[in-house]
Structure 1
Amino acid sequence: MSSRNLIVAFGGVSPEHEVSVLSAMQVIASMKDTQFNIVPLYISKSGRWLTGAPLLKMENYQDLDALIKQATPCTFSHDELGKAVLLETEKRGFFSSPQSYSIHAVIPAFHGSEGENGSFQGTCEMYNIPYAGSNVFASSLGMDKVKAKDICRAHGIPVVEGFDFYETEWVNDQKSILNIAEELGYPVIIKPVSLGSSIGVMKAAHEDELIDAVETAFRYDENLMVEKAITPLMEINCSVLGHADDLKTSVCERPLGTDETLSFEDKYQSDNGSQKGMASADREIPADISDELTKNIQSLSADIFKLFRASGVARLDFLINANSKELYFNEINTIPGSFSFYLWEESGMNMQELMLKLVDIATKRHQKKVGRIRSYDTNLLDEKAVKGIKGLKGTKNKSSEN
């Protein structure tokens, strides 16, 4: 097979599974007329790895059970030369052999939980496969809203006042948590720590609403955060493309929702069942804000992108008091919905050009990595070392006899 096989990986065990499918279909559609052969890697809701032509068509996802039966199980493996391949693990027919695809690069299009949190990126690292987007560190840090804000706070980047707690703490000492929320001051926002797409995010104006919101959010995550609500709220987002040594920022956008706090429905269902993902959400581009605020957001976005050691494309979300214009970092999305291509269109870069740029960044980063010394020329398993280990065993036995 061609060495220009581009794997688009998506789905996953995540409440944002369907959102991931939408983003992946946008990537696949944009890359049809390129030099790459697009190979889908779909991870089902149960965690099965699947590939095959039926996974390339959006309409097939209306019946997931039927689609999974048409698809072929697969896995990462190595060929006879030791190079990573995507291997079909079932034969197509009695006389056929499993198909394997050499890998030029992988574009992860996951959202939330496993896939965006660094776990899939770690798998790519283990197989020495080039992959688009942020590395394991930045991906895992970006997924943890608490740790992300801790690091920003430590570097003087403003974040909203709040606290987090685990389900065991809620069960064992609910009253103390409610007291902390009372001291923080209502209204408050409740969020799962490791999810996106506004899933499980709720606003509480008093204690009873907080209790209901917490019980709902624990369905998605064992770790929750409570933050003081910014009122009146204006959300502003900015995308960053590149890597620490060479990056640029997009225009700013102002997402528009039915309430101050954007919901999942505002983000993905505002266009009557559209299949455009985040691109279908109501938004103001460029955001109608002052030049000074725009430059401040773009500057902070670039600083945080570098601070997190992010790569590829990311979207930085900020909360702003609409009256005072006080600015707070909210979160970084290391695999943003629809890859934030709609923000880069304003700079004259279409979806295909954005994807090709991500692949270029991925392959160059991988070349730099494999250019480093990755092993140390010594043998700790020689006869002398083995004798030393045996000696240690003897020492242990003698000591136990004393």
Structure 2
Amino acid sequence: MNQKNLIVAFGGISPEHEVSVLTAMQAMAALEESDYQLIPLYITKSGRWLTGNAAQDLNEYQDLSSLEKKAKDCAFVKDENGRTLLRELDSGGLFKKTAEYPVYAVLCAFHGSEGENGSFQGLCESMNIPYTGSGVLGASLGMDKVMAKKVAASEGVKVVKGINFYESDWESEQDDIIQISESMGFPLIIKPVTLGSSIGVFKVMDTPSLIEAVETAFRYDAHLLIEEAIDPLMEINCSVMGTSENCRASVCERPMGKDETLSFEDKYQGDAGSSKGMASADRIIPADISTDLNRRIREMAVKAFKALDAAGLVRIDFLVNAQTEEVYFNEINTIPGSFSFYLWDHSDVSFKQLLEELVEIGIDRHQQKNGRVRSYDTNLLSEKAVKGIKGLKGSKG
């Protein structure tokens, strides 16, 4: 009987590292009574791959240096039959067999940077293993706020007016950038292009504050976005699950923050406790909005999901003018904090059921890909073919 080894991958080199750890721990707790054997794959802040019992204990993450000594280094490898395994690299003794786990699927619980931007997804593709969430294209689009907005806008999804620029542009064209920003009118929102969790996001009311915010945001990302602030603002989020061919939207939520724009502290350090991740944030579910606005946002969420080639489970954040009810696409989170389970819980889908469906979507996508023709029997490196290639080298143009 084949064990269903579910590799839960999390951590990584990202400012959202700790948030990813919380999401992974929540997911593993929810799947304790499932048919999967849960195998943690913790990627440290320096990029080491670790596994073992210590990597599955949230308390161990209070001392990362101690955790790294207790956990086992690991890597994806191929066996003689072409199967992908997660193998511990430290056998622990001369006569102890190296632990290895044939991979059933990978549950991606990363937030930000290499784990969520398509890089890890590309590794899974190259190792030919099923994984959850969007593919390489959808993941990379979702991580880049500028490209995501361009693609969404091209499909008729409304976005807020803004300007984006790199650190080198700021050094050479600062006056022009400031002038364009001022022409949009204050207040303005400054945000890193490739980060989430509201890290490095600022609302500014004047030019000196704008300059200070830009300089600070460049600590997190070399590419920034300055946008008009919607006033009066109401943030509404909606989760979508499935594939481009078949997907559905959750109920909507209205997150509540100390200010109009949610901060990292609002999302992860609320009164309910940081160990709950995004589930600790204050929110109204279902959102206290009109039936028409609810319908439009859910339809727009599905439209953006398809336009951005998303898959698995995402959360799409919208900015709403509370007075006019105009809706603007803000961003897509291809691996949302806590997997947005709290939105689906209100749709009568438990966290365990949500994760199991997410894994099965990944399995189905993998099987569909492998069902296509991926190679030809013709060997171009056969003796005859090689002779032909050598002949081409000797031909004169």
Q: TM-score, normalised by structure 1?
A: 0.96
**Residue identity in the other structure for 2:86:** L
Deviation at 1:379, TM superposition (A): 2.2
What are the Cα deviations for residues 330-357 of structure 1, in whole angstroms up to 9, with x where unaligned? 0011100000000000011111010111
Cα distance in 2 for residues equivalent to 1:139 and 1:335 = 9
> What is the SS of the residue equivalent to 1:190?
strand
The DSSP-based 3-state class of the residue aligned with 2:302 is helix
Residue of structure 1 equivalent to 2:277: 277
Give distance in 2, aligned partners of 1:180 and 1:121. 37
Secondary structure at the aligned position of 1:91 is classed as coil
CA distance in 2, matches of 1:164, 1:131: 32
Residue 178 of structure 1 is matched in structure 2 by: 178
The one-letter code sitting in structure 1 at the alignment partner of 2:39 is: V
Letter matched to residue 119 of structure 1: S
Partner of 1:380: 380
Cα deviation, 1:208-239, whole Å, max 9, x if unaligned, reads: 11111111111111100100111111000000
Q: Secondary structure at the match of 2:234?
A: strand
Match of 1:237 in 2: 237
Tell me what 2:48 maps to. 48
- Look up the match of 1:33: 33
Separation (CA, whole Å) in 1 of partners of 2:181 and 2:348: 46
8 Å contact 2:273–2:280 — kept in the other structure? no
Query: Any idea what the Cα deviations from partners look like across 1:135-185, whole Å, max 9, x if unmatched?
Result: 111000000000010011111111000010000111112111111111122
1:308 maps to 308
More displaced 10-residue stretch of structure 1: 314-323 or 241-250? 241-250
- Match in the other structure for 1:253: 253
Query: Which residue of structure 1 aligns with residue 78 of structure 2?
Result: 78
Distance in 2, matches of 1:312 and 1:34, equals 19
Alignment match, 1:154: 154
Q: Deviation of residue 391 (structure 1)?
A: 4.8
Match of 1:212 in 2: 212
- 1:58-69 matched pairs, under 5 angstroms: 58-69=58-69
Distance in 2, matches of 1:76 and 1:260, equals 44
Structure 2: which amino acid aligns with 1:20? S
Question: Whole-Å Cα distance in 2 between the matches of residues 95 and 202 of structure 1?
Answer: 56
Indicate the residue corresponding to 1:195 in structure 2: 195
Q: What is the correspondence of 1:51-130 to structure 2 with a 5 Å cutoff?
A: 51-130=51-130
Give the AA of the match of 1:27: A
> Residue 90 of structure 1 aligns to a residue in which SS?
coil
Are the equivalent residues in 1 in contact too, given 2:204–2:210 (CA < 8 A)?
yes
Between stretches 85-94 and 14-23, larger displacement belongs to 85-94
Q: Which whole-Å CA distance do the structure 2 matches of 1:273 and 1:359 have between them?
A: 28
Instruction: Measure, in 2, the Cα distance between the counterparts of 1:219 and 1:320.
Output: 29
1-structure distance, mates of 2:317, 2:246: 21
CA drift at 1:394: 4.9
Distance in 1, Cα, partners of 2:43 & 2:110: 9
Which amino acid is 1:329 matched to? F
In the alignment, what sits opposite 1:320?
A: 320
Aligned-partner SS, 2:96: coil
Counting only pairs closer than 5 Å after superposition, residues 311-390 of structure 1 correspond to structure 2 as 311-390=311-390
Give the structure 2 partner of residue 299 of structure 1: 299
2:338 match: secondary structure: helix
Task: String of CA shifts for 1:327-384, please: whole Å, max 9, x gaps.
Answer: 1000011100000000000011111010111111111111111111110222222345
Please list the CA deviations of residues 12-57 of structure 1 after superposition, one character each: whole Å capped at 9, or x if unmatched.
Answer: 0000000000000000000111111100000000000000011111
1:139 aligns to what? Answer: 139
Structure 2, gaps ≥5 residues long: none
The C-alpha deviation readout for 1:259-279, integer Å capped at 9, x for no partner, is 011100000001264311000
Matched residues in 2 for 1:22 and 1:330: separation?
Answer: 24
Aligned residue pairs total 397
Q: Sequence identity of aligned pairs in percent?
A: 59
1:190 & 1:394 partners in 2: Cα distance?
60
Q: Structure 1: 5+ residue runs without aligned partners?
A: none
Task: State how far apart, in whole Å, the 1-side matches of 2:392 and 2:47 are.
Answer: 43
Q: Displacement of 1:393 after TM fit? A: 4.8
Question: Which residue pairs with 1:223 in the alignment?
Answer: 223
Aligned to 1:286: 286
RMSD: 1.4
CA shift, 1:386, in A, is: 3.1
Greater shift after overlay, 12-21 or 98-107?
98-107
**Deviation of the 1:106 alpha carbon:** 0.6
Whole-Å separation in 2 of the counterparts to 1:327 and 1:34: 39
